[in-house]
Amino acid sequence: MSAAVDRLVEVIRLLREHCLWTAALTHASLVTYLVEESYELVEAIEDEHPEEDLKGELADVLLQVVLHAEIARERGAFDLDAVAEALTEKMVRRNRHVFTPDGGLQPSFPATVEEIISSWDEAKRAEKAALAEGTADDGDASPHLVGPTALEGLPRHLPALALADKALGRAERRRALDGVTSASEGVTSAPHGVTSASEGVTSAFGTEEELGDFLLGVVRAARARGLDSERALRTAVGRL
């Protein structure tokens, strides 16, 4: 790693040794900070903050990664180098349209985004097949998996809207792989009410601003009726 990163790791290690507050941090207690810092980074990007602000928010997110890696190192699990190595291996493995299995460059590269997505999805399916083989003996699956089909592999704690968007995107890609050519095709197996509900709201908005107002109105109406919008959407996604 670079001298700057090495120094950062050293500083965090010294803080863990000599600062009672930092020493008391755990993976669990850091979760709130990770979420908060991630949203602050999103805000800096979406609101087009100055470059210095963006650098600072990226640094705050990096701090969370380094802290988690240091906590893991202390218990003999892994360190930041191992995290970087795992990420490098994953990027090479999943981007087979760019890299050969040994990490070299492919002799040629896809000409379309569709080819890239197809290659990426194929690589992820191969990973999942290997994971399934590895967990078949003990009858358990990775704890971050929330269910089969479109939800497989998605983090359980994604906000409901993000979960819905990703699940629907996966469902659409799977229909494409199965030869379904239209977004309206292949939805006949959707849970009762999902298709008709979608058809009933498409005329309510035409822009993201109108969509935001529409969603806010739905949440407001749900609150007035004592309903939990987050739980309701998460439950509906689970029926996909």
86: domain CATH number is 1.10.287.1080
The contacts of residue 13 (CB under 8 Å, 6+ apart) are 70
Q: For residues 107 and 36, state if they share a domain.
A: no
Query: Is residue 215 in a domain?
Result: no
* Cβ contacts of 46 within 8 Å, gap of 6 or more: none
Query: 117 with 59, same domain?
Result: no
Mean of per-residue pLDDT scores for the chain:
83
- In angstroms, the CA 230 to CA 67 distance is 30
Q: Are residues 99 and 114 in the same domain?
A: yes
Let me know if residue 43 belongs to a domain. yes
Query: Residue 185 — pLDDT band, cuts 50, 70, 90?
Result: very low
In a domain, 10, yes or no: yes
58 lies in the same domain as 129: no
Cα angle 229, 234, 235 (rounded to 5 degrees) comes to 100
In-domain check, residue 35: yes
> Tokens 């609150």 identify what position?
223
Question: Do residues 65 and 7 share a domain?
Answer: yes
Q: Is the pLDDT of residue 43 over 60?
A: yes
Region 26-52 average pLDDT: 94
3-state SS, residue 125? helix
Q: What is the pLDDT of residue 144?
A: 45
Question: Would residue 208 count as lying in a domain?
Answer: no
- Same domain flag for 8 and 85: yes
Among 71, 106, 135, which residue terminates a domain?
A: 135
Domain count, the chain: 2
Taking the CA atoms of 163, 169, 173 and 175 in sequence, report the sign of the dihedral they define. Answer: positive
CA pair distance 118, 97, nearest whole angstrom: 10
Residue 26's domain spans which residues?
3-92
CA distance 190 to 150: 12
Of residues 195 and 143, more confidence is placed in 195
SS3 state of residue 22: helix
**Is residue 72 a part of any domain in this protein?**
yes
Q: 65 and 118: one domain?
A: no
- Whole-model pTM over 0.85: no
CB 83 within 8 A of CB 65: yes
